[in-house]
């Protein structure tokens, strides 16, 4: 039995950090719905979907903490077993993570001029992490023991953290490479790509930190404290990327007379993933490169 500081104490810190990020996510969701009422229904549903996943995830891990620190206060035997809620949180976390990764993969697909091979390889990596995450959830539900992790579960956990970090860093490297090649084409919108790169690198580094904590102290909850916050790094990255279009509007200063309709059409087309023919003529031509960055 690990010390309380590195078991329940670590998990409590993880829950508090997750609650903080959930508040930020809720604020970002409000800003999104308030700023982009004309976005397609599919994009609005995506935002609502990932917010709901994270909220349910927070309820699950909070209930687990209540079970350990209140319901079974002083019951040492209960501390050696996980709860069904703590096991199920892996499902919601993995689905939220994969959903956000899929969004960023779509950006890679657009930005790489629909490179099927590149996008396919990255998609395969993210899908494998999702499958491993769900397998880990099934194993933990079957084992129901938090302090004596089965060797097979350890191998799956290491694979989850390793592939997750590799996926994030690979996406960041690909975007960096294309941004360098097409820098002049995206001078006005490179801040969006830069933000995506920053977020993917951050989540990749957190996944590496989780892997290091798990390998170093697999029988504690230090790694779990980091892992429960990982999903909200993805969802906040997704919302921050969508909301970055507000900055794009700010950058479009002092448009010439008669181009207001073109700018409005461009912003709507960017969010819908379609570019009207008018954008490829005269003033509209400069908006054509935006579609692969934000839409």
Domains and CATH numbers, the chain: 4-251 (1.20.1070), 259-295 (no CATH)
Please state, in angstroms and rounded to a whole number, the distance separating the CA atoms of residues 197 and 190. 10
Residue by residue, pLDDT tens for the chain (295 residues) are 556 777 778 889 999 999 999 999 999 999 999 999 999 999 999 999 999 999 999 999 999 888 888 888 777 666 667 788 888 999 999 999 999 999 999 988 988 888 999 999 999 999 999 999 999 888 888 766 554 555 667 888 889 989 988 998 898 888 888 777 765 555 555 666 677 777 778 888 888 888 888 888 877 788 888 888 888 989 998 998 888 877 665 655 445 444 445 555 555 554 554 544 443 343 344 444 443 445 5
pLDDT of amino acid 8: 79
Please state, in angstroms and rounded to a whole number, the distance separating the CA atoms of residues 74 and 190. 55
pLDDT of amino acid 290: 45
* Residue 114 CB coordination number (10 Å): 11
- Enter the DSSP assignment of 256: P
């Amino acid at each position: 039995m690990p010390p309380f500081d590195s078991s329940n104490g670590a998990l409590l810190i993880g829950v508090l950090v997750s609650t903080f990020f959930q508040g930020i996510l809720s604020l970002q969701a409000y800003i999104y719905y308030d700023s982009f009422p004309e976005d397609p229904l599919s994009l609005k549903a995506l935002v609502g979907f990932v917010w709901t996943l994270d909220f349910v995830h927070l309820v699950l891990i909070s209930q687990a903490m209540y079970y350990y620190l209140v319901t079974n206060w002083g019951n040492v035997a209960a501390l050696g077993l996980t709860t069904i809620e703590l096991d199920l949180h892996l499902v919601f976390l993995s689905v939220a993570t994969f959903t956000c990764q899929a969004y960023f993969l779509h950006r890679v697909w657009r930005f790489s001029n629909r490179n099927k091979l590149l996008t396919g390889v990255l998609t395969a990596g993210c899908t494998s992490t999702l499958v491993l995450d769900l397998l880990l959830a099934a194993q933990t539900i079957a084992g129901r023991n938090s302090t004596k992790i089965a060797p097979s579960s350890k191998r799956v956990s290491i694979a989850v953290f390793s592939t997750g970090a590799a996926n994030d860093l690979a996406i960041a490297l690909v975007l960096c490479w294309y941004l360098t090649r097409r820098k002049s084409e995206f001078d006005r919108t490179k801040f969006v790509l830069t933000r995506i790169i920053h977020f993917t690198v951050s989540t990749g580094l957190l996944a590496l930190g989780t892997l290091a904590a798990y390998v170093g102290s697999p029988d504690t909850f230090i790694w779990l404290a980091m892992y429960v916050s990982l999903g909200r790094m993805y969802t906040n990255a997704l919302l921050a990327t969508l909301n970055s279009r507000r900055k794009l509007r700010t950058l479009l200063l002092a448009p010439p007379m008669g181009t207001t309709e073109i700018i409005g059409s461009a912003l709507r087309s960017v969010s819908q993933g379609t570019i009207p023919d008018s954008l490829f003529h005269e003033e509209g031509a400069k908006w054509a490169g935006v579609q692969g960055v934000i839409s």
